Structures are given as C-alpha cells and as structure tokens.
Amino acid sequence: MVPDTTSAAYSSSQSVPQHVAVIMDGNGRWAVREKVSRGQGHKKGSEAVRQAIEGAVEAGVSYLTLYAFSSENWNRPQEEVSDLMGLLRFYLSREIKRLHKEGIKLKVIGHRERLAEDIQKMVAQAEALTADNSRLTLVIALSYGAREEITEAAKHIAAKVQSGDVALEDISEDLVSSSLQTKGIPDPDLIIRTSGEQRLSNFLLWQAAYAEFLFLDVLWPDFTKEIFHEAVQNYLTRERRYGARP
C-alpha cells in the first residue's frame, strides 16, 4: 500500500507539478551492464514503475504519464516485442487490483487496436475498474506516437469542417487539444527522461509546448521514488514564465 503522505516532503507554499510525464529509457543498457537479457532488463524496468507511482502519490502529483511503448517500438526484434507484451499482460493481471485498492485511475493512450485482442480486453477492463478513482491518474502511453496523434486530430477536425459542424475560423488551440488522445488531461508540467538521452522521441509533442524538462543519467531500472522526489524539487527551483519576460 502506498502511504498517505501526499506532499509531505514539500512546504504548503510550494506548488508541485500537477502532471509529470516520464520517458522510461535505459532498460537495454541496464541489461548490457548487468550482463542479462533485454527481457530481464524490461522486467526490472517494470519494477521501477512502482517506484515512480509511489513517488508521484507521495509528492501529491495528480497525473503521471509513462511512455511504455512507442509506435516505433513495433519495429524492434519480434522476440523483444513478445517479451514486452508478455510483461504487459503480467502487469495488467497482477497490478491492476493493487492500483485500484490504492485509489489510482488507469488510462491508456495510443493505438490499442494494434495490440493483441486479449491485451485490448485487459486494458478496457482495467480502465473500467479504476474509472472512479481519484488519488492519481496513471496514464500509460502504449503503442503511442505523437505525430500520429496530431495527424489523427487534424483529420478529425478536417472532417468536422467538411461536414459543416466546425467553421474554419473556429479552429483553435483548445479545439486541437480536445481532439487529442489526452483530452481532459492537463499538459505535463515536467517531463523526465532517464538514461542521459536528451530528446522527446515522438512523445507528447503538442502537450509539451511549455513543459519543463529534466534529463537524468540514471538508467530506468535504477529509478527510485527518491529520484522522483529529487526531480520534483528540481522543478520547484524553476520559474515558469510561458514566454513572458522575467
């Protein structure tokens, strides 16, 4: 059970990020370092997910988005993809009841129709089970690509214009945002990427417009809730101006 220590590490005057997104990178390199299989690296990485969730709950974060599997990851060797899908099945079957008991809501974004039918069913059941929870919304980006998401949103809006439901002059940033898969979810305040890489890798491109970024040298399987708290403390030292002059 995650302890109920919401915002305990922060003063009442500090505004913790409402939404933290994480690009979980480094499972493969961790496996090489530890001289184990990539599958074992991914399994160890799944354990770090629990650390991130606990850190988010303790910090008082409302939304935690984890980049679990990109649309480009389908191009990886079939054995690795199979290992990842097997791990996803294990997580959905073993962890969802625990998340529900802890008051955590699960939402999956991405093209789930590319997933095996049994996984699609498990995702739908998990979302339905946890739909009324409010302690933390855990968003899993699965078979997700931001360019694809934006393209689909553009097609959706174009169809509405063509049908006469939306006038050309009524197209706005709000309309685009509400046409994305993250509709109803606030844009991320902080995006963390592990493993030392410094790029977005097709993740939340529209939503990241004014996010703060933190690139960590730690490999994802080594991620802990203490590192999550350190990331939040780093965020709290920054001044967010949204383009305004200091």
* Binding site as annotated, residues for substrate: 26-30, 38, 42, 70-72, 74, 76, 193, 199-201
Binding residues for Mg(2+): 25, 212
Please choose, from the candidates 111, 2, 144, the residue with its C-alpha nearest in 3D space to the C-alpha of residue 61.
Answer: 2
4 counts as catalytic: no
Catalytic option among 25, 83, 189, 222:
25
List 104's β-bridge partners, or say none: 136
Binding residues: 25-30, 38, 42, 70-72, 74, 76, 193, 199-201, 212
Residue owning tokens 């809501």: 105
Catalytic option among 73, 133, 202, 234:
73
Cα distances (Å, whole numbers) of residue 190 to 79, 98, 129, 231, 233: 33, 26, 28, 9, 11
Q: How many whole angstroms separate alpha carbon 213 and alpha carbon 203?
A: 13
165 counts as catalytic: no
- The residues, any chain, with a CB within 8 Å of residue 104's CB and separated by 6 or more, are 53, 57, 130, 133, 135, 136, 137, 138
Which residues have a catalytic role annotated? 25, 73
